[in-house]
Amino acid sequence: MKRKTTAVGASLIFLVSFVCGLAFADLKGSVHDFSSPKWKGVDQCGVCHMPQTKEAVPPLWDTRVDLSRRFGKMSMRKADPGMGTLACLRCHDGTIAKDATGAAIRDIDYPTMASPLRFGMGHGRSDHPVGVEYPQFDPEYRPTTFVLAGWKVTLPDGKVECSSCHDPHAFSGEKYLLRMSNSGSALCLTCHKK
Amino acid sequence: MSSRAKSGWIIDSRRIAASVRSLTIAALIVLGAFSGCASPQAKVDLVYFPPPPVTAHAVHLLSFNNLGDLAPAEQSWLSVLRGATGGPFVTTPAGMAYRDDVLYICDIGQNVVHRWNLQDRAGRRLGEGQLVKPVDVAVDEAGVVYVADTGLAEVVAIGSDGKIARRLKPPDREGYRPVAAAVHGQKLCVADIHDHRVDVFATDDGRLLDSFGGAGDAPGEFFYPVDLAFTPDGRLCVLEMMNPRVQVFDIDAGHSLVTTFGKPGDRYGALGKPKRIEVGPDGVVFIADVGFAYIQLFDLQGRLLMLLGSGGEGHAATPMPSGLAIAGSLPEPLAGLVPTDFEASYFLFASNSVGSERVSLYAIGLGRPAATTGQ
């Protein structure tokens, strides 16, 4: 039993090391390479991911909180847009990093509390929506099964998010952290029929 | 004949009944629409923080996306019919400021600074066609509006006539990227995340009075200083995002470091990805944390007081808090929203760059005993 546990543990360590090794190998030289001198030896993962802390301090005004709670991903699980976008927008809002929130006004209906704004993502002036359901039944778009079959483009929870086309870990090595080459509009045509 | 007459009577009665129904529905719609005209039209949600039965220290009063939500007197028939309340609206809010009943909201979706007078309910767009990426705003005692614009790579001073009066930028600073501005007396402080420095300008003539910091994690150094705020006694709080902490300086004494607090983490008492900071008149430090998706409240000793907001879901949602502004008092009808079981000391505006609640208004103070029963 002990030997089996050790083997499983060793396998997990190997797997995590392998994946992390791959991640760092691909991040090197990418726009998300936080090991460059500009980043002053900062924890590379910590730029995007929050470090896990062991101890929690109870708030003075609210001592009844669940001190085991961890913030970050789980606190925004039902957000719209989803985590595949919110994690990017922490920096990509025009302050820390290049703005990705250049919502074009023409795409925004009159905002009210009853009809919340849709979030338009900016790629210069040609914006692309995120946090929206993939229009799988629209004849101008390819079926979801086709989109996901290539194992490149992702649709987290059936939605189009930043992470649908961009991979923050730069596994593909493509420019702009694209998940695949857009040569001949190949990436666009994964979803769009024309 | 009689049957026809009976049939005709039946048909007529159905028509009459249908007409009565239509008229009733129309009357209800009109009544419903105008019954709300006496109070702000935005969703009024009294949410207490901390929740009952703990004594409340803040109440979420309402959230709004446009000035019309707060200006029922300006509603038109058209706006009522279309379900919108009219007026200027905010798209992607960033930094905010509040002075003399006026709320200033940077909007990086529309590339303007909204100037919403909550007293006379009038809205203006500052910097239309001139600003590129306005990410933060500060206002001095003379009413001059300072806008940190990362697209222009400078701070723009807009006079009361709405025209650009001055452009501020440290000399010989390559890659200047101003992300935060704060004013205290005759001094304007600006954070530059390219060189990780804080620059102090004179508000009267734009002279560079002081510049301190530099990249690093030692005391007095900064790593991505994303926001600035002044304490009630005039000390400058510098918030760093990538080295999550707050450093407090006395800029009247050679920017000497007074105190430091904050550490990175993902549990109570830590800072996730802090983005904005504001300090209340009672010394409570508000930190908009985009990693936690909450607004965290600390005292100036760095002790966590409580969280404000509700992450990415529910009422008073704070999925991506992007701006904070403190208001000592508010004009009616906003001030009247404070429930009778809560004593408000001041107010906090908090913006979100995403989500359905772009700007939220909180009363900060203390709940009276009745508040523990909730509402």
CA distance B105 to chain A (A): 15
Does any CB of chain B come closer than 8 Å to the CB of residue A117? yes
Could you tell me the pTM of the whole model? 0.84
Kindly report, residue by residue over A76-111, the tens digit of the pLDDT. 555 567 777 888 888 888 788 877 665 444 334 434
Kindly report, residue by residue over B159-214, the tens digit of the pLDDT. 989 999 999 999 989 999 999 999 999 999 999 999 999 999 999 999 999 999 99
Q: Which residues of B touch A62 (CB under 8 A)?
A: 49-50, 54, 305-307
Cβ <8 Å between B312 and A46: no
B-contacting residues in A 34-73 (Cβ below 8 Å): 40, 42, 46-47, 50-53, 55-65, 67, 69-72
How far is the C-alpha of B217 from the C-alpha of A113, rounded, in Å? 43
- For the segment A9-24, the average pLDDT, to the nearest whole number, is 54
Does any CB of chain A come closer than 8 Å to the CB of residue B273? yes
Question: What residues contact A190, with CB distance under 8 A and at least 6 apart?
Answer: A142, A146, A147, A150, A152, A153, A180
CA distance A3 to chain B (A): 34
Cα B110 to chain center, whole Å?
16
CA distance A80 to chain B (A): 6
Mutate to test the interface with A, among B105, B131, B273, B295 (most CBs of A within 10 A): B273
pLDDT score, position B371: 47
Query: For A37-55, b where at least 16 C-beta lie within 10 A, e where not — what string?
Result: eebeebebeebbbbeebee
Does any CB of chain B come closer than 8 Å to the CB of residue A113? yes
Does any CB of chain A come closer than 8 Å to the CB of residue B75? no
Q: Which residues of B touch A72 (CB under 8 A)?
A: 266, 272, 291-293
pLDDT score, position B122: 85
- Asked whether residue B265 carries a pLDDT value surpassing 60, the answer given is yes
Residue B301: DSSP 8-state:
T
Does any CB of chain A come closer than 8 Å to the CB of residue B320? yes
Confidence class for position B110, pLDDT limits 50, 70, 90: confident
How far is the C-alpha of A71 from the C-alpha of B294, rounded, in Å? 9
Taking each continuous run of H as one helix and of E as one strand, the counts in chain B are 2, 25
- Asked whether residue B66 carries a pLDDT value surpassing 90, the answer given is no
CA distance B153 to chain A (A): 11
Is A8 exposed, middle or buried (CB count within 10 Å of its CB: 0-12, 13-18, 19+)?
A: exposed
Mean pLDDT, chain B, rounded, equals: 85
User: Which of the pair, B240 or B8, is modelled with greater confidence?
Assistant: B240
Least confident residue range of B68-72, B77-81, B135-139: B77-81
pLDDT score, position B28: 43
- Asked whether residue A58 carries a pLDDT value surpassing 90, the answer given is yes
Q: Which of B133, B145, B51, B314 is nearest to A101 (CA)?
A: B133
How far is the C-alpha of B299 from the C-alpha of B304, rounded, in Å? 7
Cβ <8 Å between A101 and B108: yes
Mutate to test the interface with B, among A39, A66, A78, A113 (most CBs of B within 10 A): A113
Confidence class for position A41, pLDDT limits 50, 70, 90: confident
